[in-house]
Chains A and B, each alone.
Chain A
Amino acid sequence: MLKIIIPTIMLFPVIWYSNSTLIWINMTSYSLMINLMTLPLLNQAGNNSNNFSLTFFSDSLSSPLLMLTVWLLPLMIMASQHHLMKESLTRKKLYLSMLISLQMFLIMTFSATELILFYILFEATLIPTLIIITRWGNQTERLNAGLYFLFYTLIGSLPLLVALIYVQISLGSLNYLVMNIWFQDMSSSWSSNLLWLACIMAFMVKMPLYGLHLWLPKAHVEAPIAGSMVLAAVLLKLGGYGMLRLTIILNPTTKIMAYPFIMLCLWGMIMTSSICLRQTDLKSLIAYSSVSHMALVIVAILMQTPWSFMGATALMIAHGLTSSMLFCLANSNYERIHSRTMLLARGLQAFLPLMATWWLLASLTNLALPPFINLIGELFVIMASFSWSNVTITMTGLNMLITALYSLYMLTMTQRGKFTYHIHNIKPSYTRENTLMSMHMLPLIMLTLNPKIIMGLTY
Chain B
Amino acid sequence: MKLPILTIIMTTIFTGTMLTMISSHWLLIWIGLEINMLSIIPILTKNQKPRSTEAATKYFLTQATASMLLMFTIVFNAMHSGQWTTTNIDPNNMIVSLTMIIALTMKLGMTPFHFWVPEVTQGVSLMTGMLLLTWQKLAPISIMMQMFTSINPIILLLIALMSVLVGGWGGLNQTQLRKILAYSSIAHMGWMMAILTFCPSLTMLNLLIYLMLTIIMFTMLNMNTNMTTLTLSNLWNKSPTITMMILISLLSLGGLPPLTGFLPKWIIIQELTKNNNIAMATVMAIMALLNLYFYMRLIYSTSLTLFPTPNNIKMKWQFQPKKRSLFLSPLIILSTLTLPLSPVLSTLN
Residues in A lying within 8 Å of B, measured CB to CB: 105, 119-121, 123-124, 126-127, 131, 134-135, 143, 146-147, 150-151, 154-155, 158-159, 161-162, 165-166, 169, 198
Helix, strand, loop or mixed for chain A's interface? helix
Q: Does B257 contact A (CB under 8 A)?
A: yes
Could you tell me the distance between the alpha carbons of A165 and B251 in the complex, rounded to whole angstroms?
Answer: 23
| Cβ-defined partner of A155 (8 Å) among B247, B258, B262, B286 | B286
Per-position contact with A for B279-306: 1 when CB-CB < 8 Å, else 0? 0011001100100110010001001110
**B282 and A134 contacting across the interface, CB-CB below 8 Å:** no
**A158 and B304 contacting across the interface, CB-CB below 8 Å:** no
**B292 and A154 contacting across the interface, CB-CB below 8 Å:** yes
**B339 and A120 contacting across the interface, CB-CB below 8 Å:** yes
**B285 and A162 contacting across the interface, CB-CB below 8 Å:** yes
Min C-beta distance of B152 to chain A, whole Å: 25
A150-B292, A159-B285, A162-B281 are known contacts; what are 10 more A-B pairs with Cβ within 8 Å? A123-B257, A123-B262, A126-B256, A131-B247, A143-B300, A146-B300, A151-B292, A159-B286, A162-B269, A162-B285
**A135 and B282 contacting across the interface, CB-CB below 8 Å:** no
**B262 and A165 contacting across the interface, CB-CB below 8 Å:** no
Chain A residues, Cβ within 8 Å of B76: none
Q: Does B49 contact A (CB under 8 A)?
A: no
Chain A residues, Cβ within 8 Å of B251: 127
Could you tell me the distance between the alpha carbons of A120 and B256 in the complex, rounded to whole angstroms?
Answer: 9
**A158 and B274 contacting across the interface, CB-CB below 8 Å:** no
**B289 and A154 contacting across the interface, CB-CB below 8 Å:** yes
**B257 and A158 contacting across the interface, CB-CB below 8 Å:** no
Could you tell me the distance between the alpha carbons of A105 and B285 in the complex, rounded to whole angstroms?
Answer: 23
Min C-beta distance of B105 to chain A, whole Å: 26
Tell whether A161 pairs with B285 under 8 Å between CB atoms, given A123-B256, A135-B304.
yes
**A134 and B256 contacting across the interface, CB-CB below 8 Å:** no
Chain B residues, Cβ within 8 Å of A155: 286, 289
Tell whether A121 pairs with B258 under 8 Å between CB atoms, given A154-B292, A165-B270.
yes
What are the 5 A-B residue pairs with the smallest beta carbon separation, nearest first? A124-B258, A123-B257, A158-B285, A120-B257, A134-B304
**B270 and A120 contacting across the interface, CB-CB below 8 Å:** no
- 13 A-B residue pairs with Cβ-Cβ distance under 8 Å, sorted by A, are A119-B257, A120-B258, A123-B262, A124-B257, A127-B251, A143-B300, A150-B292, A151-B293, A158-B282, A158-B286, A162-B269, A169-B273, A169-B274
Could you tell me the distance between the alpha carbons of A162 and B305 in the complex, rounded to whole angstroms?
Answer: 34
Q: Does B135 contact A (CB under 8 A)?
A: no
Most buried by B among A121, A155, A158, A166: A158
Could you tell me the distance between the alpha carbons of A105 and B259 in the complex, rounded to whole angstroms?
Answer: 13
Chain B residues, Cβ within 8 Å of A121: 257-258
Could you tell me the distance between the alpha carbons of A377 and B303 in the complex, rounded to whole angstroms?
Answer: 42
What residue of chain A has the Cβ atom nearest to residue B240's Cβ? A90
Chain B residues, Cβ within 8 Å of A154: 289, 292
Min C-beta distance of A212 to chain B, whole Å: 15
**A162 and B273 contacting across the interface, CB-CB below 8 Å:** yes
Min C-beta distance of B187 to chain A, whole Å: 15
Min C-beta distance of A104 to chain B, whole Å: 10
| Cβ-defined partner of B262 (8 Å) among A120, A131, A135, A147 | A120
Helix, strand, loop or mixed for chain B's interface? helix
Min C-beta distance of A98 to chain B, whole Å: 12
Min C-beta distance of A304 to chain B, whole Å: 26
**A162 and B258 contacting across the interface, CB-CB below 8 Å:** no
Min C-beta distance of A138 to chain B, whole Å: 13
Chain B residues, Cβ within 8 Å of A150: 292, 296
**B273 and A166 contacting across the interface, CB-CB below 8 Å:** yes
**A131 and B285 contacting across the interface, CB-CB below 8 Å:** no
Most buried by A among B258, B293, B296, B339: B258
Chain B residues, Cβ within 8 Å of A161: 266, 269, 285
| Cβ-defined partner of A127 (8 Å) among B256, B266, B270, B339 | B256
Q: Does B61 contact A (CB under 8 A)?
A: no
Q: Does B278 contact A (CB under 8 A)?
A: yes
What residue of chain B has the Cβ atom nearest to residue A136's Cβ? B304
**A158 and B289 contacting across the interface, CB-CB below 8 Å:** yes
Chain B residues, Cβ within 8 Å of A159: 282, 285-286
Could you tell me the distance between the alpha carbons of A151 and B293 in the complex, rounded to whole angstroms?
Answer: 8
What residue of chain B has the Cβ atom nearest to residue A159's Cβ? B282
Could you tell me the distance between the alpha carbons of A266 and B155 in the complex, rounded to whole angstroms?
Answer: 47
What residue of chain A has the Cβ atom nearest to residue B280's Cβ? A162
Min C-beta distance of B348 to chain A, whole Å: 19
Min C-beta distance of A220 to chain B, whole Å: 18
Could you tell me the distance between the alpha carbons of A143 and B257 in the complex, rounded to whole angstroms?
Answer: 21
Min C-beta distance of B289 to chain A, whole Å: 6
What residue of chain A has the Cβ atom nearest to residue B306's Cβ? A135
Per-position contact with A for B73-98: 1 when CB-CB < 8 Å, else 0? 00000000000000000000000000
Chain A residues, Cβ within 8 Å of B269: 161-162, 165
Could you tell me the distance between the alpha carbons of A166 and B258 in the complex, rounded to whole angstroms?
Answer: 21
| Cβ-defined partner of A162 (8 Å) among B257, B282, B289 | B282
Chain A residues, Cβ within 8 Å of B285: 158-159, 161-162
Could you tell me the distance between the alpha carbons of A166 and B285 in the complex, rounded to whole angstroms?
Answer: 14
**B289 and A151 contacting across the interface, CB-CB below 8 Å:** yes
Chain B residues, Cβ within 8 Å of A147: 293, 296
Min C-beta distance of B154 to chain A, whole Å: 21
Min C-beta distance of A171 to chain B, whole Å: 13
Could you tell me the distance between the alpha carbons of A105 and B296 in the complex, rounded to whole angstroms?
Answer: 21
Tell whether A134 pairs with B300 under 8 Å between CB atoms, given A165-B273, A166-B273.
yes
What residue of chain A has the Cβ atom nearest to residue B274's Cβ? A169
What residue of chain A has the Cβ atom nearest to residue B265's Cβ? A161
Could you tell me the distance between the alpha carbons of A359 and B285 in the complex, rounded to whole angstroms?
Answer: 45
What residue of chain B has the Cβ atom nearest to residue A126's Cβ? B256
Most buried by A among B247, B296, B339: B296
Chain B residues, Cβ within 8 Å of A126: 256
Chain B residues, Cβ within 8 Å of A151: 289, 292-293
Could you tell me the distance between the alpha carbons of A131 and B289 in the complex, rounded to whole angstroms?
Answer: 18
What residue of chain B has the Cβ atom nearest to residue A143's Cβ? B300
